[in-house]
Structure 1
């Protein structure tokens, strides 16, 4: 049926790569199939997994529901959330929505994984006590 996602589209695959959890997704990400990605990111946040790299290299489309999932994940994971290898269309969407100023974007999964440990937000607030 037209409009339905292809089999496997939006279904995340998860792997450990050095110090990071890499979540790969494919095809169209939209309101009809972004929930599995959302659930995977919620579990990673609940489990305290960090950093979490979302491999966007095979994503061909994303909508506002996807942007919402990414922002919710950012709220839960903070700087531990990293977006990797967005297509030019996704990079344009991120620029238009301003998400590229909120989330960390990397040209490749390897760059995102190698970016080092996430910044500790607690350490910054501790510096201001006094």
Structure 2
């Protein structure tokens, strides 16, 4: 799925399955103008009853509070089925500053999230 937000900064969300998990790979900046496709994808997998959802964040180039809100809503909907993997340096810093690194399930790599 490709989204062209108002600012012209595209994001991409690729969905695949591996070992029974839905993996969402996110590429690009996530902000108020561009985070909606991720929110929709996470809502869809929650409604579909996915047993495990891994969000690969390694290619996220920017994130703001709207991203945090989407991830918290997803965790509320999916609980321990949600696993955030390979956060980029931008997201690692944001998670540490907000304390979310102690709340949300974070894994260094997609493989580690799948194995958990």
Match of 2:66 in 1: 65
Contact 2:63–2:90, Cα closer than 8 Å, also in 1: no
Which position in structure 1 is the counterpart of 2:3? Answer: none
Counterpart position of 2:9: 6
TM-score for both structures, normalised by structure 2: 0.90
Counterpart of 1:40 in structure 2 is: 41
1:28 matched to 2:26? The reply is no
Partner of 1:109 in structure 2?
110
TM-score (norm 1): 0.81
Unaligned runs of 5+ in 1: 116-130
Structure 1 CA distance, aligned partners of 2:53 and 2:8? 25
Q: Which runs of 4+ in 1 moved over 2 A?
A: none
Aligned length: 111
- Cα root mean square deviation, aligned: 1.2
> Unmatched 5+ residue regions in structure 2?
1-5
Separation of aligned partners in 1, 2:47 and 2:24: 15
Q: Which has the larger radius of gyration?
A: 1
1:64-118 CA-to-partner distances (Å, cap 9, x unmatched) read 0000000000000001111100122211110111111111100001110111xxx
Structure 2: distance between partners of 1:97 and 1:6: 25
* Alignment-derived partner of residue 53 in structure 2: 52
